[in-house]
Structure 1
Amino acid sequence: MSKGICTVSVAALRADHSHQSEMTSQLLYGETVSILKNDGKFMKVKMDIDGYEGWVDAQQIAEVTEEILSKRAFEIITTPFKTYNTRQGKILLSLGSEVGVEHRNENNALQLEDISETAEQFLNVPYLWSGRSVFGVDCSGFVQLLYKVHGINLPRDAYQQAELGEVLSFIEESKPGDLAFFENEEGVITHVGMMLNDHEIIHAYGKVRIDSLDSTGIYNRELKKHTHKLRFLRSIF
């Protein structure tokens, strides 16, 4: 099985090998994959960060050897945007992208205490189904990206993230960085957000926004109603 690395700012991961096919997630610059199939125009890949599988435009992935990847040193971009010089010219990258360095800079890693500050840099970023960059995010992609730049890899989807960590008994126990999960009428986990304190949540709903959270769920002050039904909160770290 060969390996690949994303060479564009954001690459769409699709359900089938067509640009018209549904986008199921995204790859960021520098993220690596296992290449499962290659039909010349599209590659079926498995993302190394979370095991997600899908099809990517073959022109957006460079094939590399396992040996090269094993020696690869990189740092994760922790600012909202960064211009990076490549052999093809300058490229604008999102927070969460991986750029090569001669030596890994361990001091570049963010501390988990700063996760609320990172989250607030996304305020008003538009909601994008299956998005996971500062150019557009969905709820679980937003949470996954926040944790990635703070050194913790989470699964891609909300229902998978809801299986991690410890359940909190009360909202008042929550601390910044804890995750709140929400269910639909059938009891299926469909939404996730991150706590900023014990009564406010930041989440992607139309755009990345801050709302109030109570025992019922998320209360949207603009709409003057609850928009999401709370299932439980979990502490991930």
Structure 2
Amino acid sequence: MSDRLMKTIGVPLADLRATPDGKRDRQLIYGEDFQVRKTADDWVYGRAAKDDYTGYIRTDQLVDQRPPTHFISARSSHIYNTPDFKTEETAALSFGARIHVVAEGDRFVELSSGQFVPHPHITPIDQLFDDPLTVAERFIGVPYLWGGNSIWGLDCSGLVQAALLACGVDCPGDAHMQEASVGTPIGDNVRPHRGDLFFWKGHVGLIRDENTLLHANAHHMAVVEEPLDAAIERIKAQGDGEITSRRRPSYPTLK
């Protein structure tokens, strides 16, 4: 495998680790691209194309790059060997998984692999969401998972990244990176706006309305909506301090 080679995640979920067999930093999902920089036995080191996050992924989790035509816009989906929902699925797909469609039918689409995905679960790759909250709400009830980036588990920054990327907003993978680069700062006296990001030390959430916060958090161990004022008091009481900043991304279509 040559250096600087772009590959694609070929499994439902791949952990991006700090070292081979080390701790998980983030995750990549089916169809996301990964640029290989060097190999190390059964591992490759490189960067995720979506946000430049670097780390190690197992070699057997990568396949040749296949430019996506669509993505999974349902909460989750499945891959089948035949276009028949009564047959057994071969793999599960998270929201955001990227697929290469070669033929479309009324009920299923055919992938370049010769497998099939339900047609109602997909959206063309260039069709953006209008509102990050409509994306984030798909994850309500999903369990909290440190470093998680999928419908099977995600953390606060993973939720925010999924919501913003689906709306065409560049977004790094970790909360401190998001606080440093996403959108523009807004003052404490500015009325909260749908889609604003509120940050605490090591934590981030999305504003749904003036007094509703949507976030993945370890207190509930899930993605939840809760009153903003209650969340502020609870986070402070548990020793994580006050809000450190508020930022307003620029969404292409959200007013």
TM-score, structure 1 length as denominator? Answer: 0.82
Q: Deviations over 1:5-33 (max 9, x none)?
A: 00011100111112xx1000001100001
Cα distance in 1, alignment partners of residues 93 and 222 from structure 2: 20
Question: Are 1:181 and 1:232, in contact at CA under 8 Å, matched by a contact in 2?
Answer: yes
1:160 aligns with 2:177: yes
Q: Deviations over 1:176-208 (max 9, x none)?
A: 11110112xxxxxx1100000111111111211
What does residue 231 of structure 1 align with?
244
Q: Which amino acid in structure 2 is aligned with residue 201 of structure 1?
A: L
What does residue 32 of structure 2 align with?
31
1:210 aligns with 2:225: yes
Compared CA separation, residues 6 and 106, structure 1 to 2 (3 A): closer
1:145 aligns with 2:159: no
Q: CA deviation at 1:108?
A: 4.2
Cα distance in 1, alignment partners of residues 236 and 5 from structure 2: 52
Question: Are 1:109 and 1:151, in contact at CA under 8 Å, matched by a contact in 2?
Answer: yes
- SS for the counterpart of 1:27 is strand
Q: Which amino acid in structure 1 is aligned with residue 91 of structure 2?
A: I
Q: Which amino acid in structure 2 is aligned with residue 60 of structure 1?
A: Q
Question: Are 1:140 and 1:157, in contact at CA under 8 Å, matched by a contact in 2?
Answer: yes
Structure 2, unaligned stretches of length 5 or more? 83-88, 104-122, 251-255
1:81 aligns with 2:79: no
Q: Which amino acid in structure 2 is aligned with residue 94 of structure 1?
A: S
Question: Are 1:172 and 1:199, in contact at CA under 8 Å, matched by a contact in 2?
Answer: no
What does residue 57 of structure 2 align with?
56
Q: CA deviation at 1:224?
A: 11
Question: Are 1:45 and 1:54, in contact at CA under 8 Å, matched by a contact in 2?
Answer: yes
Cα distance in 2, alignment partners of residues 25 and 49 from structure 1: 12
Q: Which amino acid in structure 2 is aligned with residue 33 of structure 1?
A: F
Q: Which amino acid in structure 1 is aligned with residue 97 of structure 2?
A: S
Cα distance in 1, alignment partners of residues 206 and 189 from structure 2: 12
Q: CA deviation at 1:231?
A: 1.3
- SS for the counterpart of 1:118 is helix
Q: CA deviation at 1:166?
A: 1.6
What does residue 106 of structure 2 align with?
none
Compared CA separation, residues 63 and 178, structure 1 to 2 (3 A): same
| Deviates further, 142-151 or 115-124 | 115-124
- SS for the counterpart of 1:169 is coil
Q: CA deviation at 1:106?
A: 6.2
Cα distance in 2, alignment partners of residues 86 and 33 from structure 1: 26
Cα distance in 1, alignment partners of residues 206 and 172 from structure 2: 15
Q: CA deviation at 1:217?
A: 6.0
CA RMSD in angstroms, aligned pairs only:
2.6
Q: Which amino acid in structure 2 is aligned with residue 231 of structure 1?
A: T
Compared CA separation, residues 155 and 86, structure 1 to 2 (3 A): farther
Q: Which amino acid in structure 1 is aligned with residue 8 of structure 2?
A: I
Structure 1, unaligned stretches of length 5 or more? 184-189
Question: Are 1:219 and 1:227, in contact at CA under 8 Å, matched by a contact in 2?
Answer: no
Q: Which amino acid in structure 2 is aligned with residue 2 of structure 1?
A: L
What does residue 10 of structure 1 align with?
13
Cα distance in 1, alignment partners of residues 15 and 145 from structure 2: 12
What does residue 117 of structure 2 align with?
none
Question: Are 1:78 and 1:110, in contact at CA under 8 Å, matched by a contact in 2?
Answer: no
Compared CA separation, residues 50 and 118, structure 1 to 2 (3 A): same
Identity over aligned residues, as a percent?
27
Question: Are 2:213 and 2:231, in contact at CA under 8 Å, matched by a contact in 1?
Answer: no
Cα distance in 2, alignment partners of residues 76 and 218 from structure 1: 35
Q: CA deviation at 1:153?
A: 2.6
What does residue 177 of structure 1 align with?
195
Q: CA deviation at 1:167?
A: 1.5
Question: Are 2:68 and 2:98, in contact at CA under 8 Å, matched by a contact in 1?
Answer: no
